[in-house]
Amino acid sequence: MAKKQKIVIIGGGAAGFFAAITCAETNKNAEVIIVERGKDVLNKVKISGGGRCNVTHAIWTPRELVKNYPRGARELMGPFSKFCTGDTVDWFAKRDVETKIEDDGRMFPVSDSSQSIVDCLWKSAKRAGVKIYNSSRVENIYPPEQKGQPWKVMINNGDNALYPDKIMMASGSNPKMWDVLKHLGHAIVPPVPSLFTFNIKDTRIKDLLGISMPNAEVKINGIDLPKKSRTAHGPLLITHWGLSGPAILKLSAIAARELNEKKYRFEISVNWRYGYSVNETTEDLEELGTEISKKLVRSNPQFGFPQRLWHRLVDAADIPAERRWGEIGKKMRGKLAAQIAHCTFQVNGKSTFKEEFVTAGGVELNEIDFQRFESKIHDNLFFAGEVLNIDAVTGGFNFQAAWTGGYLAGLALAE
Ligand SMILES: Cc1cc2nc3c(=O)[nH]c(=O)nc-3n(C[C@H](O)[C@H](O)[C@H](O)COP(=O)(O)OP(=O)(O)OC[C@H]3O[C@@H](n4cnc5c(N)ncnc54)[C@H](O)[C@@H]3O)c2cc1C
């Protein structure tokens, strides 16, 4: 009988569990062990999506899906053509976890509870015979000295060691594990935060917490970035600290590295009315001068602006409270149009986005064979999830990368 293969998966998160289950279900003759430093596994899945777990996103083709990965888009094309969002939905449905699509495309378990996903992964792993060693911190790993020999995995200050045939790194964004990988010869792209909100102190948005505009465009100024990395549009939300919402989060992900280099001090311009330039807005304001000439500018918000935000922009354009639409001249019109369509703010720092934050950086992608998520430097060393230099905008895409990587690495581990 063939020798029973021993597989050690470092990290009991989304990627580690998906790989372990796939491997154990595919190769019944493999001994699959998840080694997790924490007391509990699947901690991030549990707290994800505000406790609801945004499992994936309703974009069904690899070509469209990869557009949401500022790092990893090119490398994920192939993997997504083998295991895409539809496969994730089916995978969970087959295990009795139905998912639903929200208006913005994010997908959650129908239960609206991340516990359904945690339970499903836990039960599937147990059913497949996966062994789970918790409170077991991997300190170091050593490659085989000769072909055919096992790896050595040192656990808890060397108290314990495992000798697997194959290893998978699913340790997320743990700097210590990146150091271990550096010693094995892998290059690590230095980690920087991604998915954060912009801190702005400015009288125009002070104390307007909770006010939003449905479709604004945000542009980063003065940083050398490709054009498509400089702007994003979507709902814009004023928070206690500054600005948030999909447009800001998207920019924080796309420009994660450049903004880190700037120490999060930079300028943005906001077009609160996406799709209409300063000139077009000036023309629209001129028309209002005849259409509603007798009405007061300040107390008659236009273009869907909430009253309080409109007041601030009118004040910033130096338009007196008693001024009527028919009474504003070219200069004031120009100033108001600029506040609406090219409203500049100084960003000074960042804040953590409460629902989801990730790290940009990790194992250099050109060192990975993405057919199998295997190292090109060492045989029998596999990776998936946040340990790699892959990350996405918010919306369920980070988990999708972990499921896909975990699944394909799991198949390769099972060989
Ligand atoms: C608050 C929050 C909410 C989020 N919500 C969402 C969401 O709704 N949708 C989405 O797509 N993404 C979300 N994300 C991002 C998502 O959680 C991650 O992208 C995903 O968990 C990455 O999975 P992973 O398995 O690579 O890493 P992790 O989930 O971080 O798992 C890595 C595991 O490895 C273990 N480990 C590390 N080092 C060692 C070691 N030396 N020895 C043993 N074990 C070790 C860790 O303890 C951990 O359990 C969220 C992130 C956060 C922080």
The per-residue pLDDT for range 281-294, each reduced to its tens digit, is 999 999 999 999 99
Nearest CA to ligand 1 atom 27: 172
Contact 189, 364 (CB under 8 A): yes
Contact 257, 359 (CB under 8 A): no
Query: Residue ranges per domain, the chain?
Result: 5-192+355-414, 196-352
Q: Is there an atom of ligand 1 within 6 Å of 38 CB?
A: yes
Residues 6+ apart with CB under 8 A from 132: 12, 33, 34, 36, 41, 125
Lowest average pLDDT, out of 18-32, 149-163, 198-212, 386-400, goes to 149-163
Rounded to whole angstroms, the Cα distance separating 250 from 198 reads 11
Rounded to whole angstroms, the Cα distance separating 403 from 287 reads 53
Q: Is there an atom of ligand 1 within 6 Å of 171 CB?
A: yes
- pLDDT tens for 302-359 read 999 999 999 999 999 999 999 999 999 999 999 999 999 999 999 999 998 776 678 9
Residue 235 clears pLDDT 90, i.e. is over it: yes
Rounded to whole angstroms, the Cα distance separating 318 from 102 reads 42
Nearest CA to ligand 1 atom 52: 356
For domain 5-192+355-414, the CATH architecture is 3-Layer(bba) Sandwich (3.50)
Q: Is there an atom of ligand 1 within 6 Å of 11 CB?
A: yes
Residues 6+ apart with CB under 8 A from 374: 368, 380, 381, 382, 383, 409, 412
The per-residue pLDDT for 3 is 72
Percent of the chain at pLDDT above 90? 92
pLDDT confidence bin for 1, thresholds 50/70/90:
low
Residue 371 clears pLDDT 60, i.e. is over it: yes
Nearest CA to ligand 1 atom 33: 11
Q: Is there an atom of ligand 1 within 6 Å of 165 CB?
A: no
Cα 17 to middle of ligand 1, angstroms:
11
Q: How many CB atoms lie within 10 A of CB 273?
A: 21
Q: Residue 6 burial (CB < 10 Å; 0-12/13-18/19+)?
A: middle
- pLDDT tens for 167-202 read 999 999 999 999 999 999 999 999 999 999 999 999
Coil, strand, or helix at residue 53? coil
Query: What is the pTM assigned to this prediction?
Result: 0.92
Cα 138 to middle of ligand 1, angstroms:
16
Percent of the chain at pLDDT above 70? 99
Nearest CA to ligand 1 atom 37: 171
Cα 401 to middle of ligand 1, angstroms:
12
Contact 388, 243 (CB under 8 A): no
Q: Is there an atom of ligand 1 within 6 Å of 22 CB?
A: no
